[in-house]
Structure 1
Amino acid sequence: MKKRVLALGAMIAVAAVSCSRNDANELQPVGANEVEIVNVLSQNNVAQEDTLFFKAKAGQGSTFVWSVDGKDAVGSDSTFKFISSDLGEHTITVAATKYGVKSSSKATVSVYGKYKYGTFILNEGNMTTENGSLTFISPSGVVTDSAYLKANGTELGNVTQDLYINRNKIYIISQNGKKNAVGSSFNNDGLLVVANAETLKKEAAFNDELATLSWPTHVAVLDEENVILRDNNGLYKFNTTSKVLTFIKGSKSAAKMTMAVSNNKIFAAAGTKVYVVEPNKDTITYALDMKATVSGVLRASDGNIWVSTTGSPAKISKINFRDYSLIKANEVSAGSVSAGFGATPGITAKGDTLYFSGAGTKIYRHIFSVGTTEFMVDAKTMVENANIVYNNIAVHPVTGEVYLNTIKAYGMDFLKNNTSVFNFRDKAALSANYKNHTRFPAGIFFTYAFN
């Protein structure tokens, strides 16, 4: 009798355990062993070396394994930080395990070059002792000094002056190339450097091919066969494929100033004229006479051309890019549209709004549609050591903020400098101020401004 009771008890115990296990599985909600990836920042695109955050949603008690492109990644938490220097698409996978049951989920992200979006400050450098350099400010305000050097391990040429971005390539011209101002040989990549615009990895460098140039200062690009260079003699067309340099007849006296590109044409200031250069031609197409000294030539947002002229009165004009006729000209009632001693235009524009400072610290705004001009701010009142403006202001084509480069003084005081960012939406406000990053800045260049 006792044995029967014991046997019956054992059967009841086994049945109870089995029931308990079945109940655990039956009580598990539908989909409890499934996993979902949550993109915390809701971004599918990210710059090299920047971070995206992902979180796995699964049943309580699940364990996780993350992988990128099929390779297991470090970490088994429910959260994962994705960082990559490899361009292109990447697949992020998380595998979750619970009660021995596995499930997985995937997300796709794209990595673009660190320098694809943002702001470049091109630095001449101290012409007798150092090469040019490139400073980069990311959209989030992170500054990378000597960006080209960090990407390549080599430096830009001596006294870098201008850059242009075309078809994911960045073209950077220097005045002296491998020789400094006193004729000493410098170790650098030379006169014209071509690099990947997203990564700054060098693709080509040209020196001997451009030996006939006399102090080149500016570059504008239509395509690889029509790289337009400006030097003391005028304009040249350089074919980077055949490596042939051709002087453009009629372009003598082209000014030391940034050229504008619109609708596959180059527009270059030249005294009182604006030269027009078309692809595959070795003679200027047109010379538009503005009847006053041209201080700036810019592409307008509608494809037409802004031209500023000094004199009495100073004017800002809009020129039709097709037939070069005058659309409208406004007199400037305050401030100066002079380009100063530098190599950048005396005006900068976002839409119908233009800014100028006459290469000084006092910034003015001109609304072209209504013809009004108003004083905005004197940078000296808001920025320490803003004594000398080094090349002209530039307006961000997306945010509308105005960037200004200043130095304290010449000598070693050039090391005390500012890149100041002003917001004029309500009243003059200093959005950001980046201290001591420039070395005689040749210009401010926004990646968004190039096609």
Structure 2
Amino acid sequence: MKKSVFAFGAFVAVALVSCSKKDSTEPMPVGTAGVEIINVLSQNGVAQEDTLIFKAKAPQGSTFTWTVNGKGTTTTDSIFKFVSTDLGEHTIAVTASTNNQKASSQASVAVYGKYKYGTFVLNEGNMTTENGSLTFISPKGVVTDSAYFKANGTQLGNVAQDLYINQNKIYIISQNGKKNAVGASFNNDGLLIVANAETLKKEAAYNDELATLSWPTHVAVLNEENVIIRDNNGLYRFNPTTKTLTFIKGSRSAAKLTMAVSNNKIFAAAGSKVFVVEPNKDTLTYALDMKASVSGVVKANDGNIWVSTTGAPSKISKINYRDYSLIKSNDIITGSVSAGFGATPGITAKGDTLYFSGAGTKIYRHVFSMGSTEFMVDAKTVVENANIVYNNIAVHPVTGEVYLNTIKAYGRDYLINNISTFNFNNKAVVSANYKNYTNFPAGIFFTESYN
């Protein structure tokens, strides 16, 4: 693919791993100045392959020895650029020499995985000719194409559909696994892949254990022994430890839509109902009747559940996660909360603000507490070749930017595509546009959504 970035509007990550700064200065003779390390970017944590800049403040004419974990070289430069691929805590130290006197100082910095913070776009790939893939956008707007392949040298399964992050593991489900849509064998890692969420290094892959599934489409995780998978027949509980797959009784009508997880419960759309699944149970806990077709189930920031329904009128409702009672419901008379042909929710939420587009290019914003809905932008008017929306929009849980995947057309024109982000606090400005990175995008996933 041609790789070009139109603009960078991604925020700089503020959610950094905690680590302690350890500055110390060795005693020097009276009248001799010491040395101080200045962390230029004021970050004590950094992703693999990213750069931190340190500056030594010392008397004029000093020469410097910089070390990382006790290893380094002598230089006259007071600036040191730290880059590492090794995870964990590292000690940066500098010794300044001047007039036959020496002084030292040190600081700690933690390196976390390249993929710990950022945005994933999961790609189905062409169902007859290629495997799925994973595109990653860092908080600084740097794109890594085919991230899973680059981390492992192997491919995701055919028609990758959904992913979920739990306890520093990423679970990726594909529809066809090692066979394509017409039954031909494909060389890939299969149906369900489990990888380290920071590095994407594969930890496990499951195929034969899931052979009874019929076109699996979604995955959600309660814990390592309760991986919930949706297929054409309903919901299953998979235990990777015992490698057992158990159908959840009563779940046969579970819809091809993303499941929400809140307070150790799964909430899944199912026609006019929302199914509730709890860990270690092989039957549904509850089936909430919404009296209309459910188009989206999304976790709210307070742990309750947003549910969108289509009808006359369409509605956005808030459901209590404890007793499944209705907290409040708002009519939607402008725009559409339909999920469209895709497999992602018809709504997306940050706090009290929800967005929807009906799987089209016209984006609407609904402020739930006020019951107000307003048209924001038609992406087609501000993004070149944004003709077809492939799966629904998603709002970043921290920045509030709305992400949209579009393609120019089907046929070979699916290779002309955009990942566009909109900052609606700035008059619907396109804050970033990443061209020609997707391959039938199955969904947009923010790592911050799983913290």
TM norm structure 2: 0.93
Equivalent residue of 1:53, what SS?
strand
The residue aligned with 2:324 is: 324
Which consecutive aligned stretches of 4+ in structure 1 deviate over 2 angstroms post-superposition?
Answer: 28-33, 73-76
- Cα distance, 1:126–1:224 mapped onto 2, change above 3 Å: same
Q: Show the 5 A alignment for 1:220-239.
A: 220-239=220-239
The residue aligned with 1:205 is: 205
Q: Show the 5 A alignment for 1:272-287.
A: 272-287=272-287
The residue aligned with 2:195 is: 195
The residue aligned with 2:57 is: 57
* Higher RCO by CA contacts (8 Å cutoff, separation 6 or greater): 2
Q: Show the 5 A alignment for 1:44-443.
A: 44-73=44-73, 75-443=75-443
Q: For residues 83-119 of structure 1, what are the alpha-carbon distances to aligned partners after superposition, in whole Å with 9 as ceiling and x for unaligned?
A: 0000110001111112222221111000010000000
How far the C-alpha of 1:345 sits from its partner, in A, is 0.2
Quote the Cα distance in structure 1 between the aligned partners of 2:363 and 2:65. Answer: 56
Equivalent residue of 1:151, what SS?
helix
Q: Tell me the amino acid that sits aligned with residue 388 of structure 2.
A: I
Quote the Cα distance in structure 1 between the aligned partners of 2:363 and 2:31. Answer: 62
Asked whether the equivalents of residues 33 and 102 of structure 1 are also in contact (C-alpha less than 8 Å), the reply is no
Equivalent residue of 1:209, what SS?
helix
Asked whether the equivalents of residues 33 and 98 of structure 1 are also in contact (C-alpha less than 8 Å), the reply is no
RMSD, aligned CA: 1.2
Equivalent residue of 2:32, what SS?
coil
Q: Tell me the amino acid that sits aligned with residue 208 of structure 2.
A: D
Quote the Cα distance in structure 1 between the aligned partners of 2:371 and 2:61. Answer: 68
Q: For residues 7-30 of structure 1, what are the alpha-carbon distances to aligned partners after superposition, in whole Å with 9 as ceiling and x for unaligned?
A: xxxxxxxxxxxxxxxxxxxxx995
The residue aligned with 1:35 is: 35
The residue aligned with 2:21 is: none
How far the C-alpha of 1:441 sits from its partner, in A, is 0.2
Greater helix content: 1
Quote the Cα distance in structure 2 between the aligned partners of 1:144 and 1:75. Answer: 33
How far the C-alpha of 1:428 sits from its partner, in A, is 1.3
TM norm structure 1: 0.93
Q: For residues 375-417 of structure 1, what are the alpha-carbon distances to aligned partners after superposition, in whole Å with 9 as ceiling and x for unaligned?
A: 1100000001001000000000001110000000011100000
Q: Tell me the amino acid that sits aligned with residue 370 of structure 1.
A: M
Quote the Cα distance in structure 1 between the aligned partners of 2:335 and 2:140. Answer: 32
- What stretches of structure 2 of length at least 5 have no aligned partner? 1-27
Larger mean CA deviation between 424-433 and 361-370 belongs to: 424-433
Quote the Cα distance in structure 1 between the aligned partners of 2:431 and 2:155. Answer: 31
Equivalent residue of 1:425, what SS?
helix
Q: For residues 20-61 of structure 1, what are the alpha-carbon distances to aligned partners after superposition, in whole Å with 9 as ceiling and x for unaligned?
A: xxxxxxxx9955352111111111110000000011111112
Q: For residues 170-198 of structure 1, what are the alpha-carbon distances to aligned partners after superposition, in whole Å with 9 as ceiling and x for unaligned?
A: 00000000001111111100000000000
Q: For residues 223-268 of structure 1, what are the alpha-carbon distances to aligned partners after superposition, in whole Å with 9 as ceiling and x for unaligned?
A: 0100000000000000011111100000001000000000000000
Asked whether the equivalents of residues 33 and 101 of structure 1 are also in contact (C-alpha less than 8 Å), the reply is no
The residue aligned with 1:450 is: 450
- Cα distance, 1:327–1:59 mapped onto 2, change above 3 Å: same
Larger Rg over CA atoms: 1
Quote the Cα distance in structure 1 between the aligned partners of 2:195 and 2:76. Answer: 39
Q: For residues 178-221 of structure 1, what are the alpha-carbon distances to aligned partners after superposition, in whole Å with 9 as ceiling and x for unaligned?
A: 00111111110000000000000101000000000000000000
Quote the Cα distance in structure 2 between the aligned partners of 1:31 and 1:105. Answer: 18
Equivalent residue of 1:188, what SS?
coil
- Cα distance, 1:428–1:309 mapped onto 2, change above 3 Å: same
Alignment coverage as a number of residue pairs: 424
- Cα distance, 1:37–1:225 mapped onto 2, change above 3 Å: same
